[in-house]
Structure 1
Amino acid sequence: MYKTILLPVDLNEEGFSHVAAKHACALAKMSGATIHLLNVLPTSQLPMVSAHFPASVLQEIRKSAYASLQDFAKNHIDDSIATQVHMAEGKPSKEIIKAANKYNADLIVMPSHKRAKLELAVIGSVAARVVSSASMSVMVVKPQ
């Protein structure tokens, strides 16, 4: 069924990504797929951040996010599932698509956030952008 599942994780939205992880794990167990966890940091896309923080601070942010992603994997991905952890920097929807292609994902399982309709109209939805841009199947999991 699936060989490679990409699971984008938003470490800032506590409680949403773990719901998507449950679905990804169930699918991975049924099909023997590998799960690739991905967190996207927007730091390199924000010139204001780069201009006001020294490189050492940005490096600490990266290390902290990677450690948090590893903790997420330990807490939400079954030990019997092959798992790889990846970090990227940039626009989330673009980096998710780029990672899906790089790791030959045949499925992206990602959380959707409860957002107001007005907010979606103004800033757009990462999930909607991924669904419209991906060449592979995308499962968008709603929070429960």
Structure 2
Amino acid sequence: MYNKILLPIDLNHKASWDRALPTALVLCKTYDASLHVVTVMPDFGLPLVGGFFPKEFTDQAKKALTDQFKEFIKEHVPKDIKVQRIVVDGKPYEAILRVSKKLNVDLIVMASHKRKRLEEYLLGTNAMRVVQQSKKSVMIVR
């Protein structure tokens, strides 16, 4: 049923993977699917903030994040799971949608955090935006 499963995570927020990762792993084992774990790096090159950082900052930040990501996968994903690590930049929901389309995944498994109703109404969450805009199935894990 599923061949490729996308799991967006934020390495700095355990709630983004604490429950979603075990769910994705079970699905991968059940369907012999590959796991594609994506983490999104903020876009430091934006004109508004880009001037505050040295030119090499983005490359250094991406390398540090990639190293941290590699260790995370080694520690949390069993060796029998086919896994791909993906580091992208930009707005989280846009990056998730872009990666899911590029990889042609069958399912996106992601966490959702409880937020205030007014805040959801005004801003929306990344999970909600992915659900609304994705052409692929999305499983929200709470």
TM-score (norm 1): 0.91
Aligned residues: 142
Establish whether residue 83 from structure 1 lines up as the match of residue 77 from structure 2.
no
1:16 CA drift (Å) = 3.1
Q: Which amino acid aligns with 2:8?
A: P
Q: Is the 8 A contact 2:15 2:111 kept in 1?
A: no
Identity rate of aligned residues, in percent? 38
5+ residue gaps, structure 1, are none
Q: Output aligned runs, 1:1-144, within 5 Å.
A: 1-44=1-44, 46-142=46-142
SS at match of 2:18: helix
1:79 CA drift (Å) = 1.1
1:54 CA drift (Å) = 1.0
Q: Which amino acid aligns with 2:26?
A: A
TM-score (norm 2): 0.92
Q: Is the 8 A contact 2:41 2:89 kept in 1?
A: yes
SS at match of 2:56: helix
* Structure 2 CA distance for aligned equivalents of residues 77 and 40 of structure 1: 19
SS at match of 2:74: helix
SS at match of 2:51: helix
Relative to structure 1, the CA distance from residue 107 to residue 45 in structure 2 (aligned partners, 3 Å threshold; closer, same or farther) is farther
Q: Which shifted more, 84-93 or 48-57? A: 48-57
Q: Is the 8 A contact 1:22 1:76 kept in 2?
A: no
CA RMSD of aligned residues (A): 1.5
* Structure 2 CA distance for aligned equivalents of residues 28 and 65 of structure 1: 25
Structure 1 stretches of at least 4 aligned residues deviating more than 3 Å after TM superposition: none
Q: Which amino acid aligns with 2:119?
A: E
Relative to structure 1, the CA distance from residue 12 to residue 131 in structure 2 (aligned partners, 3 Å threshold; closer, same or farther) is same
SS at match of 2:120: helix
SS at match of 2:139: strand
* Structure 1 CA distance for aligned equivalents of residues 49 and 62 of structure 2: 13
Q: Is the 8 A contact 2:15 2:113 kept in 1?
A: no
